[in-house]
Amino acid sequence: MKKINSVAIMGGGPSGCALATLLKRKGFNVAVFYLDNRPEIIVGESLVPAIIPMLKELGIEDEVRSYSTYKPGASVWVSKDEEATSPFSFGGGSLPPYAYNVPRVKFDKTLFDKAVSEGVKMFNLVARIEKTGQGDELKLSDETIAATGDYFKGQPDLIVDATGRARTISRFLDIPTKTGQRKDIAVFSHISGGEPIEPYNIHLHRLEKGWSWRIPLPGRTSVGVVINPEHLKEFGKTKEEQYDNYLKSEEVLKKFTANSKRETPVAQYSNYQLISQKMYGANWVLTGDAGGFLDPIFSSGLFLAIKGAFRLAKAMDEPTEASFKKYQKEQLLELKLWQKLVDTWYSGRLFTLFKVGQDRMDSRFGRYIGPHMQKHLTRIFSGEAVYVNYSRIFLNFVTGSMLKLMKIGGLNRHKTSDLAIK
């Protein structure tokens, strides 16, 4: 791989702008190509504590705090009457015991403005790419180069795809992908007048069909439903009809959204689990959602997007074939580990564990393992469970082998299949 001095980043979202800021600080000549057409609401409004150290390093936490809702923990509703709340402080570890729920338009603008203030060049246009004819090497089209006023004095040394779910390079090169088994969609909106959430945790609800989130934001609550699209067809033809009617018909949601008013259009997202199996090539690399994205159940989206930017910036300290290979390996491994946690939600194993814990809390075993279990389950919601070897091993045990052993011993009267997300 040739020496890299100039970098063209396609995409001006959180991952692209965070990367641009970090690379500019390292002395690279960086330009971001973006379009100023972001929707009013975007999925990924709830941050995890694991992102806070990166916001501090970027120098934006104070600004993010100024317009966001403080988030001290997460609450999971196993049913309409059963709630399990985990303050982040229960997780211990090295992370801050808090995060934020963010209005995405403001959050994304904060990262964009930070990149500009660091000297990153911004081009409000789509970067068109072409093959050079040398393997999978790419170049910016002549029209794109001309539109920049030949900013790079020729071609950039590296092209970064941070276009999110548009996945520009993956689609262009037809890179193989790995998809999840589920084909859910998310429909969500912002409402006012619903039941207030205090403290301002994110609330996750297991529904008769699918699951939902409630995220408290300043003056509003983000309410979303993740569900098989077949289940929504009976509730209307448009996404607005389906969303509004489903909230009125689902007993759990009706309780929390009665007398509420929808303040935004309904947004819809699909393809929640898709990972490119090749993250870099001759002179290009993928980061953020352009490389891979997962179901949003544990609020990992923005964290993974910005974590990928930090990891790629580190790889650029000595941009060699070996460093990009290591970047790819670490990205794929991290997505795989998070996917395992996502699977425990949909399979019902997390809910089964909660039920079993309730049954056994008064026993000697329950009193012994209860606090330990609470600590490491909380780390799922803080973002730390993936990175601490012991937490990963423990969670694999309690959601796998331990449940099986308790079933064999007659101590587990709950069927995991009965608690799976339909």
Per residue in 70-126, pLDDT (tens digit) is 999 999 988 777 888 889 998 988 899 999 999 999 999 999 999 999 999 999 999
b/e code 294-318 from CB counts within 10 Å (16+ = b): bbbbbbbbbbbbbbbbbbbbebbee
Please check the confidence at residue 402 and state whether its pLDDT lies above 70: no
pLDDT at res. 236? 94
What three-state secondary structure class fits 140? strand
Please check the confidence at residue 413 and state whether its pLDDT lies above 90: no
Q: How far apart (Å, rounded) are the C-alpha atoms in residues 157 and 4?
A: 5
Using alpha carbons, select from 275, 276, 278, 285 the residue that is nearest to residue 320: 285
Average pLDDT over residues 150-161: 97
What is the Cα gyration radius of the chain? 22
Question: Does domain 6-68+103-178+273-336 correspond to CATH entry 3.50.50.60?
Answer: yes
pLDDT at res. 397? 73
Please check the confidence at residue 299 and state whether its pLDDT lies above 80: yes
Q: Using the 8-state DSSP alphabet, how is residue 164 labeled?
A: G
Q: Helices (DSSP H) in 93-167: which residue ranges?
A: 104-117, 142-147
What three-state secondary structure class fits 321? helix
Tokens of 227: 């569900």
pLDDT at res. 329? 96
Confidence class for position 40, pLDDT limits 50, 70, 90: confident
Average pLDDT over residues 403-419: 57
Confidence class for position 409, pLDDT limits 50, 70, 90: very low
Contact indicator for 288, 16 with CB cutoff of 8 Å: yes
Q: Considering only residues 33 and 408, tell me which one the structure prediction assigns the higher pLDDT.
A: 33
Q: What is the distance, to the nearest Å, from the Cα of residue 385 to the centroid of all Cα atoms in its chain?
A: 15
Q: Where in the chain is the domain with CATH 3.50.50.60?
A: 6-68+103-178+273-336
Who's near 79: CB < 8 A, 6+ residues apart? 206, 252
Share above pLDDT 90 across residues of the chain, in percent, rounded to a whole number: 65
pLDDT at res. 327? 97
Q: Helices (DSSP H) in 84-224: which residue ranges?
A: 104-117, 142-147, 168-173
pLDDT at res. 408? 44
Identify the architecture of domain 185-269 in CATH: 2-Layer Sandwich (3.30)
Q: Considering only residues 419 and 217, tell me which one the structure prediction assigns the higher pLDDT.
A: 217
Q: Considering only residues 94 and 160, tell me which one the structure prediction assigns the higher pLDDT.
A: 160
- The tens digit of pLDDT for each residue in 217-271 reads 999 999 999 999 999 999 999 999 999 999 999 988 998 998 899 999 999 988 6
How far from 119 is each of 8, 116, 155, 176, 225, CA to CA, in Å?
14, 5, 20, 36, 40
**Residue 233 CB neighbours (<10 A):** 10
| pLDDT-wise least confident of 71-85, 92-106, 149-163, 278-292 | 71-85
**Length of the chain as a residue count:** 422
Q: How far apart (Å, rounded) are the C-alpha atoms in residues 111 and 101?
A: 16
Q: Outline where DSSP puts E strands in 287-377.
A: 292-293
pLDDT at res. 17? 98
Q: Where in the chain is the domain with CATH 3.30.9.100?
A: 185-269
Contact indicator for 212, 252 with CB cutoff of 8 Å: yes
Please check the confidence at residue 11 and state whether its pLDDT lies above 50: yes
Query: Average pLDDT of the chain?
Result: 89
Q: Considering only residues 381 and 5, tell me which one the structure prediction assigns the higher pLDDT.
A: 5
pLDDT at res. 147? 97
Average pLDDT over residues 266-284: 91
